[in-house]
Each structure stands twice: as C-alpha cells, then as structure tokens.
Amino acid sequence: MGIQARRPSRLHHTAYVTKDLEATRRFYEDLIGLPLIATWCESDELFGALRTYCHTFFELGDGSALAFFQFEKSSDQELFGPSMPPTPFHHIALNVDVETQGAIEQRLRAAGYTEPELYVLEHGYCRSLYIKDPNGMIVEFTHDSPDAVKPDVMRARQARAREELSRWLAGDHTSNNGFR
C-alpha cells in the first residue's frame, strides 16, 4: 500500500520571503508567541548572482520553525517574493490546543485585527482561526475535535483514504464529513 521506508521525523522549517522583517517579527513573536530563535545574515552565490539576505527562524513547540528571508537588494526582493496568492487555499496551518487558539485570537483582536482579515471556520473535525500575516500569507491556527482524533476514527479514516480519493477523482463529490 505505500512505501514503508523511513520518513522524515518532523518539519525542520518552512521558508518565506518578507519585505519587512521587523513587522514579521512583531507579528510572530509578539502577537502569536513564537520566539525568534535564530537570525543568520549571509551572502551566497545563488542563481547566477551574489545575494545578501537575512534569514530568521521562529520556533514552534516541536522545535521546527517558520523562517523568513529579507534581501538586501530590492531587485532580489522582487525576484524571490513575497507573492502570496489571494486565496485561503494557500496557507500554513499550525496545530494548537483550545486555550492557545483562544489566547492568540484574543491578542490579535486586541491588536486591532477584525473580520474579514481574522475569521473562524468550524470544519466539524477541527476549528480553525485564520489571519493574514504582514506578508499577506494566511496562517491557520487549528485544533482538532476530540471526537475526530479518537484512535478508532483515525484508523477508519486512514483505511478509507485511498478509496475516498478514488471516489472523488471518479466524479463522486458528495461530502464525507460526518462531523458537520
């Protein structure tokens, strides 16, 4: 059924380009609560030119990180981003517990974030809080419904995952979300 080889142990980091590292730092460190754990200032020969940039890392609870680049030259900045598509279907989702999600939502609202830039979606199997960061990237803070992560429910979802995908690809687009 799938490759049974060793797989990566966790996300190390995911990287994005920002035009304003300080606004990005304030958002992720001061509002969201992710500590800035490393700042690397570097110059490298990349894609045919010398590129000078600053690379920052904001730590998640498991030791992985969200990373952001800011380039010295505006031409490099334009070449590499940020270019975030204006769609909620391009985002990063971070797992949180109920209390953490509530605290993040409270801090964001206190900082002046309101709908439509800050919104909640009840998926049934999870509750998601969405916000645009200073770079236009949508960040989701989500916690699973306790009923959706019961071992028997998770085993059943995994056992049917390929069957459900095949059904969808064959044209049967009926919902299989019994949590809504």
Its pTM stands at 0.85
Name the burial class of residue 110, with classes exposed (0-12), middle (13-18) and buried (19+) by CB atoms within 10 angstroms of its CB.
exposed
Domains observed in the chain: 9-83 (3.10.180.10), 84-180 (3.30.720.110)
Q: What are the two backbone dihedrals, phi and then psi, of residue 70, each rounded to the nearest 5 degrees? A: -130, 130
pLDDT in single tens digits along all 180 residues of the chain: 556 678 888 899 999 999 899 999 999 999 999 999 999 999 999 999 999 999 999 999 999 999 999 999 989 988 988 676 667 778 899 999 999 999 999 999 999 999 888 999 999 999 999 999 998 889 999 999 999 999 999 999 999 999 999 999 999 999 999 888
Cα separation, 20 vs 82, whole angstroms: 10
